Structure 1
Amino acid sequence: MKLKELEGRLQQVDVFESPKLLLEQYPTRPHIAGFDIDEDALDIFRTNAEEFELQNVDLVQCDICALPSTILEKSVDTIIMNPPFGTKHNKGMDMTFLKSALQMARTAVYSLHKTSTRNVGFIFISQIFLY
């Protein structure tokens, strides 16, 4: 199933009319939030969201790594990201983004990295979970 189809189906799911808080029946709608420091990147995201007919999408222009970690800790379910690779001018920037993403996500982080940085990333992740 493609993301567009899943998003559409989830938007049609009924929610509890009278949720039972003791059973943690919280009504939630599917939602996507895009964060980027670059307004041009957000414009491209906006165009793609319109093409795929996605609804419930918020775009936020900010430097996610500059926000206090306590604000975003475990604040989203899943993160899909393409961080700066950090191979030219910002060495290690991909690892900074990965660390922030791991603090923010409750369930999963999917991150695109250059082949030359993958081994470092796996070592970094294992160190976080082992210590």
Structure 2
Amino acid sequence: MGDRRALETRLAVVAGFENPQARLEQYPTPPDIAAHVVHLADLQGDIDGRTVVDLGTGTGMLALGAALRGPARVVGVELDAEALSTARDNEQRVGTTTPIHWLRGDATRAPLCDRTVDGSGTTVLMNPPFGAQHGRRGADRAFLRTASELADVSYSIHNQGSREFVESFAEDEGGEVTHAFGATLTLDRQFEFHEEETKDLDTEVFRIRWT
């Protein structure tokens, strides 16, 4: 098991979106947050030897972090072809040896089999859209539903104040929130409607065990 700060350093080379799309809420996951989530998952035994799926992988930050911690395989699912191309380039930058399958598709309708057939187990890592853009309300709900269908356990990043919703959703789908903690995402200005060069966004991270 590696050191969290060493993992963050490895992920610092990951390039972000060249042409981020506001409608898809394409904000990069900062390397410190990605390292924190992946390290926690590793401590819980949710990475090593398992299949890890990054839903809405973007440019691959969470998938690449997981790939550095000894999973059997990693799958990154992303709708945006340009982002997937950057993710493949990032794989070369990071230099992982674990097989990573970059799959273009809608993460809310992921073209993947339910759970794994080899008994290794499946972990979902994701930083889903928060539903902040017009017409995207509840976007993270669809990602959680996919996670409940694919995974034994998932880790997801949500807007601050989401705990009641996440716990209720998990309970309805036969899951249980086992861990929750706050995290601050520092985001650089990406879109014209952003008024500040950087903004700190308060979020919450949840580990859910699915049955």
Give the TM-score normalised by the residue count of structure 1: 0.67
Match of 1:59 in 2: 102
Q: Which AA in structure 2 matches 1:95?
A: R
**Cα distance change on mapping 1:40 and 1:88 into 2, 3 Å:** same
Q: Tell me which protein shows more helix as a share of its residues.
A: 1
- CA-based RMSD of the aligned residues comes to 2.4
Q: Match of 1:74?
A: 115
Partner amino acid, structure 2, of 1:44: T
Q: In the alignment, which residue of structure 2 is the partner of 1:96?
A: 142
Residues 46-80 of structure 1: per-residue CA shift (max 9 Å, x gap): 23322221131110111132357xx5211461111
Give, in angstroms, the shift of residue 93 of structure 1. Answer: 1.0
Deviation at 1:102, TM superposition (A): 1.2
Quick check: which one's strand share is greater? 2
Secondary structure at the aligned position of 1:109 is classed as: strand
What TM-score does the superposition give when structure 2 sets the normalisation length?
Answer: 0.44
- Separation in structure 2 between the aligned mates of residue 74 and residue 42 of structure 1, nearest angstrom: 23
Distance 1:5 1:97 in 2: 24
Partner Cα distance (1:119, 1:87) in 2? 18
Partner of residue 159 from structure 2, selected from 114, 128, 131? 114
Q: Which amino acid aligns with 2:166?
A: G
1:5 deviates by: 5.2
Equivalent residue number for residue 123 of structure 1: 168
The residue identity in structure 2 corresponding to 1:53 is G
Is the Cα contact below 8 Å between 2:113 and 2:150 reproduced in 1?
yes
Q: Could you tell me which amino acid in structure 1 is paired with residue 87 of structure 2? A: F
Aligned AA for 1:112? Answer: I
Corresponding residue SS for 2:161 = helix
> Which whole-Å deviations, capped at 9, do the CAs of 1:83-129 have from their partners, x for residues lacking one?
11112231111011111111101x21111111133321122112222
1:44 and 2:90 correspond = no
Q: Please say which structure displays the higher CA radius of gyration.
A: 1
Structure 1 portions without partners, runs of 5+: 11-29
Residue identity matched to 1:36 = E
Following superposition, the deviation at residue 6 of structure 1 comes to 3.2
Mapped to 2, the partners of 1:78 and 1:63 lie a distance apart of: 18
Give the partner amino acid of 1:6: R
